[in-house]
Structures are given as structure tokens and as C-alpha cells.
């Protein structure tokens, strides 16, 4: 158990309101909850003033810790965070990934939909049109709806006009495991504006799984690099 | 912890340093065109002259400017995207009018942008303005001005001014030759309709160039001859030309230095804030965890049993877990009613300024704690024991929507909101009542514009206590003591009316511990959208008595009607238990209207403290995050002469939520009411806990406005 705890420490995300992050919404009986709770108390007693912990687990260490469910590794350069998140819930078409201090990232088909707890979060970005385009595999044009909370806490909606371009086949390495993928580049703009709002990159495997991606999470968080780890 | 602070500093640096004014939208895009700047009058303009630009909607600015012995402090507000208002307190050294060595003056401005230059359009922006239109008139002037921007750096402005702005090199009197002169020492305060756009008119204008994001250069031709000032030798006006440079230090602060009127160096500091540009980005911490999902009924039918309801341990057990989990979210559980399919909780929100957020957090707690068979959640909001409204929400809707991109909008269409029924005795949390609560906090009191001490401020300590017998039945009290300050130096000004408010300095002179309030009150919903309140005791620092109020407001209505009758006696100056020999029956009928866009209108008509009859009109603009800026005026049957300086009661008020500064959830706010003068006409007793704000808080308009926070 101790080893497991020590290892899971690597999965931790830095943040100020660490332990409170385990707010409401847990399913008390779930093994995940008790694991997260126990781990949380062990981790946040670490010395003060340390640099934010960086994700440093290996496939072997995940195995040794008994982690069998998928892990999402997220790197947010803008805020200097790298963290592993565990698959926590699968409501409808989405997956909610959760870090040990309770922050979450929600994806649908590997596409970023929202973040919670990382600062000025991504409120929501529509994923369905892109998901359809990716499953068709070819170049595509479509629109995605971005929703953000403005300074007055009201939802501001922007329609982004996007182009998806399939590019070369590439082999990506995710924690020592190689995947044969096709790289897709997605460029999204506001109407009548030349500069793109963002340019995302997706590496999609043969079965349709997005193994690696670089996705925009709003003007404050910037780009998040995501890797999906399927432990053996 | 260090890391947290570093993060905080980084955040502050981001707010204060990196980005510049103009409101970026949620995609980080900024509006095009030159940034508007505030002039020496705190209005959008060049240096001493106005321009036709506008500040971003909702911008709340304060400027301090100085040149040639004239200091002007101006508070200005962009009331709507095109309408702005300002209140100014100016001091002119050596302007010996009506026996003052330094002449202090208060004035109000209003301006409206009639035309707005469009991107790619040909027409300039055009604005019309009234300066000092309700003060003593020393700055009185009117203008029509046009400004045209070229690209994002250059703006050219030209206009025609009357009054002060028509006093130098005037070309004609287009509308009327006669304009009443400024009379020093007059009570002022009247709307000076008879002088608007009358008398000689003159041209003014100038050029602004902003070569970088931060730097600006301005050159202007002033049509203000400063007749009164130069006659008295305040400064020498040698030239109509002013020029200088300004620098945008950060998002909030701009500084400018100028050479003015061929003889003086002038400086201008402008601090601009915007409700939509919080000083610290809200973190919503602790963040809510993902909503607890129920196991599927098909896979685990045994968990969906309703047998738990019959278990005698269910109520105490679930009650304790609900209480604890709600408390972690800043919600106090007061009562609850368990059913196999429907559960109602009654809560007091003590943390979030947005009711929708309190409701959302409470719904998450219910999803976490309650057995799967419970499908319908009812959450009733209470305000100091007064049950206001009940939100009904289906648990399966919460489960289905939480992670959807349109979660907030979709949920909004699915929740029901009804007026709350009075709380049932059987539903109360066991052992909760009677409740005792207390707090000890410092606070400040201020008074402005005393000729001897323009700012009077006291730092006081307040011990507050409350005792709630049953929901809605309360005793509240507060003791205060002065820690420091100069408010005791305030002067009592003479009055022709009963000294119902002008005697306030006598109360401020009290030393030691004072009884600020001590009231017994009862408030409840009366059914059929009516609410009632009775309060008796020491209502405020200066008055005690009995106050009764009734309010009608349907939960989905934008209109509310109310009536209030008070019998009050003036308290002894020592703020003990005794009363002076003045009592009066006051009362009002009130209409409140919650307009779309956050504008709140209120009209109260009735009898005021000095026995005068009249009406008060108030307009406030309330932003969704709790910022509020407003103005009010009262006209009664007291004549301007009887009223004294200012002619009638009026003022402005603002309130800023603490969370706007800190980014942390809080229901506290800071703010003040500024009256140019406090007189006895149109004065009202301050009854604590009036019904309207308490009831409106939990009603549809307000909840809808803040709905985006329901999942946060």
C-alpha cells in the first residue's frame, strides 16, 4: 500500500486548495473514493515551497500500483502543471478524468470538453462535430460552439468555424508504448477573422482512439497536451 | 503555501500589469480602436475638453486632477453603453467666493453618445453632454462634440460648448442670448433647465495620438476662458492651447502630465475599474467534484428500494449527513422533509453571492447523500428564517446534463421555481432552534464634504448578536464603539426643519459603547405571493420605534409592490435607551421593477421623517456578479429654501462584492452612499431587513441572471 501511495503521489496536480478539492459529488462507497481520500491525506503533508509535482510515473510503476483503469496525462505549459488523471466517471458519451486533488478534465471521444479547477477553466467546447469529422477520417469543415464565463459570470457563446486536415501517419510514444496513428490538424477561427483562435493537433490510432493530442483550453489555460495511457 | 502566494502574485501581475484596458471577451479578443481617456473633469475627453468617445460599458472610474490651484475629484460611471454620469468634488484654492478661502464645490454631469463610429464606417461618434447640471453651477456648461478615430492610434475631436465651454472666443449665441449667471453661495441643486444651451457658444477641439499600447499624446484648444478663476487671480490664462502626455501604467491606472493654458503644469490620475474585470479571477474553490451518479436501476434494482424511508434511523442519519455536507458548501440546513421519491431541504446560503451557485452546490450534496429512489429534489432558500422560494429539480436531469457542453442552459429550462410555503414545525432540524449567533468586526463610517474636513471617517468596532427562536422570529442587536477617527469633528448645520438628520454629528460625538440597534422582528411569507414583517425596538443609530411592512411579489414577477408604516421616536444623542421629544409616523407605498439588463427601479411615495410628504425615485444598475451603482433623488413638499443647501435630497450609491477583489466566494460587499449634503427634508428611517431585497434574492429574475454559476 505504501508503495502505491508513494507512486500515486506522482499523479498529483499542484494547486492551492488541495485537500478541499475533494468536495461533494463522491460516491462514498466507490473504491476510487476511498483510494483518493487516503492518498490525498498522505500527499499533501509534503514540505512547503516545493515545486509543483510533475507527472513522472512509468508504465511499470502504474502496474505496480495496481492501476488498471485508463490514465490521462495532461501538461499545461501556461500554468506549469503536469498531472495524471484517473478515469473517474463515464456519464453518457463523456469521460470525467480526475486528479487526486479533485480537479477534473472531461473528454468525449478523446476530445477536450471542459476543465474544472485549473484556474480560469474551459467552461465548455462542443466536441460532437469534431468527433464526427474525425470518425469520417477525411478533411472536413464544421463549426464548434465555445462557451465561456465572462467577468460578470454570464455565459458568452462564440461559434468557431473549423477545418480539419488529415496529415501524415506517425508513430507516437505514450509512456513507452508505440502507437501507429494519423496526425490531424484542426484550425478554428471566428467568422471574418484571419487569425485562428486555436490550432489543435490530434494523433488518432487505428481503432479511433486519440492517443495523443494538443488541445486548446481557452485563452487563459492555453494549450493542454494530453496522452492517454491504457495500463496493461 | 509559498507556491500559492507566488501564484497569487503571478495572478495579480497578470491583472495589474500585463494586459491593458478594454474588455477582452472570453476568447481573449479585444475591441479595436484607440482607448478612451478621461479628462480633468473625469469625463471621456482630451485634457480639459470632452470628446465623443465612451468608456467600456459599466466602467467605474475615479480621477484626481490638479492644475493652477484647482483640484477635481470625480467619480464617473458608464451607466449604459452610451449614457454616462459623473459626480465631482472640486476645490479651488484662492477662489474667494461667498467667504471661503478655498472654494469647494460638488457637481453632477450626464452625457449621451448619440452616434457611434462603426468599424469601417464614415460617420464620427457624436455626444451631447451636460456638465454641472444640478450643482451650484460653477462648472455649468453644455456641449455637442464629435470624435473620429483613424485606425487604432489617432482620434480627432471637435465640438461646440455653451456656458463655461462657450466662454472663450465665442462665435455667437445660437439659441438664446441670455444665460443666468453663476451665483456663488446660492443653495444650488436645482436642475438648471433655464440655462442649458443658452448664451454664447464657442468651438473647442483637439487631437489624441496613441503611438503604443500605453503611451498617448494630446493637444487641445480650450474654449473655457476661466473667467471667475482668472478674475480672482487663481491662475493666469495665457493661451487656449493645452498639450501633454499620458501613460497607461496598468489595466486600472493612467497618469498624465500636461502644460496648460500657457502657464500651468497639470497632472491627472485616472483609476478605472469595471465590474466585468475582476481584480482576481474567481477560482470557485473548493471546486465541486463530479456529480455523484446513481447505479443503474437495471443492474442494481435492490439499491433503488424505498424501504429506507420506514427505518427510524433514516431521518436522523440522513439529516446529519446532509447538514455536514451542506455546511462544507457554506449552506446551513434548517429543515428537511424526506419522501421515497421527493426530498425537500431548506437552507440558508452563507457563502455564495450567486444564489444559483448555492442551489447547484446543494443539489450536488443531495445527489451524493440521498438514496437512489429519490428522484425529485426541492431546495428552499431561506433568508434569516424567511422562506422565499423553492427550486424543484429532477435528479436524472442533473445526472444527464452535468458534463454536456450546454449543461447550464439546458438545466435552466428544466428546473421549476415556486414561492416557498412557510416552514413546517415538523420539518425543522432537530435541536437547531433556538439559535444564537454573534460576530465582532471592525467597520468604517464616513461622511464627506464638510468644508472643514472634506473626509470624515471613523473606525468602529461592532459586536453583533442574534437570537432566533423559530424561523423568522428574531432578536437582533449591535453594540458599537469608536476605535479611531475624526467624525466627532463634524459640524451641526442649522436647519429650518425638525433636525431629523442634520443632528447626526451629535450622535457621532458619543464616546464609549453605544447601543446601535436592538430589535425584535418577525417575518414570514403570507401566501399568495405576499410577505410580511414587523420590527420593533432601536431600529438605527438615530431612531427607535415600530415598523411594519407588507410586500407583494410573485416569484416570476419583475414587479413588486410594498407598503410600510413606521412610528418612530428620535433617540437620545448618547445612543442609550432613551428618546428625545420628537416622534413621527412615516410610511411609504413602494413599487419596484426589476428591468432586464440589471436595471432596478424603485419609487417610494409617502411621509418622511420631518413630516414632509413626497416621493423618492431610485435607479440602480446591478451587475450579475453583485456590483451595483445607482442614484436617487427625493422631492417633497419642503421648499428649496426650507431644505437649505442642495435644495432637495439626492445622492449616488455603489456596492462592490468582496469576491470581485479576492476571487474567493463571499456574500460581503463594500460600498457607500454619497450625498452632496445631508439635510432634513426627504429623510427616511433606516429599517433593518426590509423585505424587498431579501425576497428578490431568491426570485426568478435574480436566479436567472446568475444561472451560469449553477454548476460552479
Pairing mode, strands B253-260 and B241-248: antiparallel
Of A77, A127, A151, nearest to B663 by C-alpha is A151
The arrangement of strands across the sheet holding A223-229 comes to A111-116, A104-108, A95-98, A81-89, A71-76, A223-229, A210-216, A198-205, A177-189, A155-174, A140-149, A124-125
B447 forms beta bridges with B456
Question: What 3-state DSSP class applies to A44?
Answer: coil
Chain A residues with CB-CB distance to B28 below 8 A: 219-220
Query: Has residue B347 got a pLDDT over 60?
Result: yes
Please give the Cα distance from B159 to B166 (Å, whole number): 10
For residues B282 and B255, the model is more confident at B255
CATH code that applies to domain A2-229: 2.40.360.10
pLDDT-wise least confident of B26-35, B225-234, B238-247: B26-35
Of B567, B555, B640, nearest to B607 by C-alpha is B567
From the list B289, B400, B402, which residue is nearest A24 (CB)? Answer: B289
B47, B58 in Cβ contact below 8 A?
Answer: no
User: Band of the pLDDT at A20, cuts 50, 70, 90?
Assistant: very low
First and final C-alpha spacing in chain B: 24
B71, B47 in Cβ contact below 8 A?
Answer: no
Domain extents for chain A?
2-229
Please give the Cα distance from B375 to B335 (Å, whole number): 19
From the list A14, A89, A147, which residue is nearest B3 (CB)? Answer: A14
Domains identified in chain B and CATH numbers: 32-273 (2.40.160.40), 301-431+704-709 (3.30.300), 447-694 (2.40.160.40)
Query: Has residue B326 got a pLDDT over 50?
Result: yes
B326, B332 in Cβ contact below 8 A?
Answer: yes
From the list B4, B293, B361, which residue is nearest A16 (CB)? Answer: B4
pLDDT tens-digit readout, B419-469: 999 999 999 999 999 999 999 999 988 888 877 778 889 999 999 999 999
Give every CB contact of residue B126 below 8 A, 6+ residues apart in sequence. Answer: B52, B113, B114, B115, B144, B145, B146
Pairing mode, strands B331-338 and B342-349: antiparallel
From the list B287, B354, B404, which residue is nearest A21 (CB)? Answer: B287
Task: Tell me which of A153, A189, A222 to substitute to probe the interface with B (most B C-beta atoms closer than 10 Å).
Answer: A153
Please give the Cα distance from B22 to B32 (Å, whole number): 9
Pull the grid cell for residue B572.
437620545
Please judge whether A154 and B624 are an interchain contact, meaning their C-beta atoms are less than 8 angstroms apart. Answer: yes
Q: Looking at B539-678, list the stretches that DSSP marks H as alpha helix, in order from N- to C-terminal side.
A: 640-643, 658-662
User: Band of the pLDDT at B135, cuts 50, 70, 90?
Assistant: low
The values of phi and psi at residue B180, to 5°, are -60, 140
Quote the pLDDT of residue B124.
95
Query: Has residue B383 got a pLDDT over 90?
Result: yes
Cα atoms in the Cβ-side hemisphere of radius 13 Å centred on B215:
3
pLDDT tens-digit readout, B82-102: 999 999 999 998 887 766 678
B178, B163 in Cβ contact below 8 A?
Answer: no
Task: Tell me which of B289, B372, B596 to substitute to probe the interface with A (most A C-beta atoms closer than 10 Å).
Answer: B289
B203, B223 in Cβ contact below 8 A?
Answer: yes
Please judge whether A26 and B361 are an interchain contact, meaning their C-beta atoms are less than 8 angstroms apart. Answer: no
Please judge whether A218 and B328 are an interchain contact, meaning their C-beta atoms are less than 8 angstroms apart. Answer: no
For residues B103 and B655, the model is more confident at B655
Please judge whether A155 and B282 are an interchain contact, meaning their C-beta atoms are less than 8 angstroms apart. Answer: no
Give every CB contact of residue B554 below 8 A, 6+ residues apart in sequence. Answer: B419, B529
For residues B410 and B94, the model is more confident at B410
Strands (E) in B496-572, as ranges, are: 513-527, 530-538, 543-552, 559-571
Query: Has residue B11 got a pLDDT over 60?
Result: no
CB atoms within 10 A of CB B60: 18
Query: Has residue B409 got a pLDDT over 70?
Result: yes
Min Cα separation A65/chain B (Å): 24
Quote the pLDDT of residue A45.
29
Using a CB–CB cutoff of 8 Å, tell me whether A116 touches chain B.
yes
Give the distance from CA A86 to its chain's centroid: 10
Quote the pLDDT of residue B18.
37
User: Band of the pLDDT at A189, cuts 50, 70, 90?
Assistant: very high
Amino acid at each position: 500500500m505504501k508503495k502505491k501511495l508513494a507512486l500515486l503521489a506522482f499523479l498529483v496536480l499542484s494547486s492551492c486548495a488541495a485537500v478541499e478539492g475533494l468536495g461533494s459529488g463522491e460516491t462514498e462507497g466507490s473504491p476510487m473514493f476511498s483510494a483518493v481520500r487516503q492518498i490525498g491525506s498522505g500527499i499533501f503533508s509534503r514540505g512547503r515551497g516545493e515545486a509543483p509535482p510533475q507527472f513522472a510515473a512509468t508504465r511499470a510503476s502504474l502496474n505496480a500500483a495496481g492501476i488498471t483503469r485508463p490514465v490521462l496525462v495532461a501538461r499545461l505549459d501556461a500554468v506549469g502543471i503536469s498531472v495524471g488523471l484517473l478515469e473517474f466517471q463515464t456519464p453518457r458519451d463523456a469521460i470525467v478524468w480526475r486528479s487526486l486533488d479533485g480537479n477534473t478534465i472531461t473528454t468525449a471521444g478523446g476530445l477536450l470538453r471542459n476543465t474544472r479547477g485549473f484556474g480560469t477553466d474551459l467552461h465548455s467546447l462542443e466536441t460532437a462535430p469534431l468527433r464526427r469529422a474525425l470518425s469520417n477520417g477525411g478533411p472536413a469543415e464544421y463549426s464548434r460552439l465555445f462557451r465561456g464565463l465572462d467577468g460578470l459570470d454570464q455565459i458568452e457563446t462564440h461559434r468557431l468555424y473549423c477545418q480539419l486536415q488529415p496529415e501524415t501517419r506517425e508513430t507516437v510514444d505514450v509512456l513507452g508504448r508505440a502507437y501507429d496513428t494519423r496526425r490531424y490538424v484542426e484550425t478554428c477561427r471566428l467568422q471574418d477573422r484571419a487569425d485562428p483562435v486555436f490550432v489543435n493537433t490530434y494523433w488518432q490510432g487505428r481503432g479511433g482512439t486519440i492517443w495523443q493530442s494538443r488541445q486548446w483550453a481557452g485563452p487563459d489555460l492555453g494549450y493542454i497536451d494530453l496522452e492517454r495511457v491504457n495500463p496493461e | 503555501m509559498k507556491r500559492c502566494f507566488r501564484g497569487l502574485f503571478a495572478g495579480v501581475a497578470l491583472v495589474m500589469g500585463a494586459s491593458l484596458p478594454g474588455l477582452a471577451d472570453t476568447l481573449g479578443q479585444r475591441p479595436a480602436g484607440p482607448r478612451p481617456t478621461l479628462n480633468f473633469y473625469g469625463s471621456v475627453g482630451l485634457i480639459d475638453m470632452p470628446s465623443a468617445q465612451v468608456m467600456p460599458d459599466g466602467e467605474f472610474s475615479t480621477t484626481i486632477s490638479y492644475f493652477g490651484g484647482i483640484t477635481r475629484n470625480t467619480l464617473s460611471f458608464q451607466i449604459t453603453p452610451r449614457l454616462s454620469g459623473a459626480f465631482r468634488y472640486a476645490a479651488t484654492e484662492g477662489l474667494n467666493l461667498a467667504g471661503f478661502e478655498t472654494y469647494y464645490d460638488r457637481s453632477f454631469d450626464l452625457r449621451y453618445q448619440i452616434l457611434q463610429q462603426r468599424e469601417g464606417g464614415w460617420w464620427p461618434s457624436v455626444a451631447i453632454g451636460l456638465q454641472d447640471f444640478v450643482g451650484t453651477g460653477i462648472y455649468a456648461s453644455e456641449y455637442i462634440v464629435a470624435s473620429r478615430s483613424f485606425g487604432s492610434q489617432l482620434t480627432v475631436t471637435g465640438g461646440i460648448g455653451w456656458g463655461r465651454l462657450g466662454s472663450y472666443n465665442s462665435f455667437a449665441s445660437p439659441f438664446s442670448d441670455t444665460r443666468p449667471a453663476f451665483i456663488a453661495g446660492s443653495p444650488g441643486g436645482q436642475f438648471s433647465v433655464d440655462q442649458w444651451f443658452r448664451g454664447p457658444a464657442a468651438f473647442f477641439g483637439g487631437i489624441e495620438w496613441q503611438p503604443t499600447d500605453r503611451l498617448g499624446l494630446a493637444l487641445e484648444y480650450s474654449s473655457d476662458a476661466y473667467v471667475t478663476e482668472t478674475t480672482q487671480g487663481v491662475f493666469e490664462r495665457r493661451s487656449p492651447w493645452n498639450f501633454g502626455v499620458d501613460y497607461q501604467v496598468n489595466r486600472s491606472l493612467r497618469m498624465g502630465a500636461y502644460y496648460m493654458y500657457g502657464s500651468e503644469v497639470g497632472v491627472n490620475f485616472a483609476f478605472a475599474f469595471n465590474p466585468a474585470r475582476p481584480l482576481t479571477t474567481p477560482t470557485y474553490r473548493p471546486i465541486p467534484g463530479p456529480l455523484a451518479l446513481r447505479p443503474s436501476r437495471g443492474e442494481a434494482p435492490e439499491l433503488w428500494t424505498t424501504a429506507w424511508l420506514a427505518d427510524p434511523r433514516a431521518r436522523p442519519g440522513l439529516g446529519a449527513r446532509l447538514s455536514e455536507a451542506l455546511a462544507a458548501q457554506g449552506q446551513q440546513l434548517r429543515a428537511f422533509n424526506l419522501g421515497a421519491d421527493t426530498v425537500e431541504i431548506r437552507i440558508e446560503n452563507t457563502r455564495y453571492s450567486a444564489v444559483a451557485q448555492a442551489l447547484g452546490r446543494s443539489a450536488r450534496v443531495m445527489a451524493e447523500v440521498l438514496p437512489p429512489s429519490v428522484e425529485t429534489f426541492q431546495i428552499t432558500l431561506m433568508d434569516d428564517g424567511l422562506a422565499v422560494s423553492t427550486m424543484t429539480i429532477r435528479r436524472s436531469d442533473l445526472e444527464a446534463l452535468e458534463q454536456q457542453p450546454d449543461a447550464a442552459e439546458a438545466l435552466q429550462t428544466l428546473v421549476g421555481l415556486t414561492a416557498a410555503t412557510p416552514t413546517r414545525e415538523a420539518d425543522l432540524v432537530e435541536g437547531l432552534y433556538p439559535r444564537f449567533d454573534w460576530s465582532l468586526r471592525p467597520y468604517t463610517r464616513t461622511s464627506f464634504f464638510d468644508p472643514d474636513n472634506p473626509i470624515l471617517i471613523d473606525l468602529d468596532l461592532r459586536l453583533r448578536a442574534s437570537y432566533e427562536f423559530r424561523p423568522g422570529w428574531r432578536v437582533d442587536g449591535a453594540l458599537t464603539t469608536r476605535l479611531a477617527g475624526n467624525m466627532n469633528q463634524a459640524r451641526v448645520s442649522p436647519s429650518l426643519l425638525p433636525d431629523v438628520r442634520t443632528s447626526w454629528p451629535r450622535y457621532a460625538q458619543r464616546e464609549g459603547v453605544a447601543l446601535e440597534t436592538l430589535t425584535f422582528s418577525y417575518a414570514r411569507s403570507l401566501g399568495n405571493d405576499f410577505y410580511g414583517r414587523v420590527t420593533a425596538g432601536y431600529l438605527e443609530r438615530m431612531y427607535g420605534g415600530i415598523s411594519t411592512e407588507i410586500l407583494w411579489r410573485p416569484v416570476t414577477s419583475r414587479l413588486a409592490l410594498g407598503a410600510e408604516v413606521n412610528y418612530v421616536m428620535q433617540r437620545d444623542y448618547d445612543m442609550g435607551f432613551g428618546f428625545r421629544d420628537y416622534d413621527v409616523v412615516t410610511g411609504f407605498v413602494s413599487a419596484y421593477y426589476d428591468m432586464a439588463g440589471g436595471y432596478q427601479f424603485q419609487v417610494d411615495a409617502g411621509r418622511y421623517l420631518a413630516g414632509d410628504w413626497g416621493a423618492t425615485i431610485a435607479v440602480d444598475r446591478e451587475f450579475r456578479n453583485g456590483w451595483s451603482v445607482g442614484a436617487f433623488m427625493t422631492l417633497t413638499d419642503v421648499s428649496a429654501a426650507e431644505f437649505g443647501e442642495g435644495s432637495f435630497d439626492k445622492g449616488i450609491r455603489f456596492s462592490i462584492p468582496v469576491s470581485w477583489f479576492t476571487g474567493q466566494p463571499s456574500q460581503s460587499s463594500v460600498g457607500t452612499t454619497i450625498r452632496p449634503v445631508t439635510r432634513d427634508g426627504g429623510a427616511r428611517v433606516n429599517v433593518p431587513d426590509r423585505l424587498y431585497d431579501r425576497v428578490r434574492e431568491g426570485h426568478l429574475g435574480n436566479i436567472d441572471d446568475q444561472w451560469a454559476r449553477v454548476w460552479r
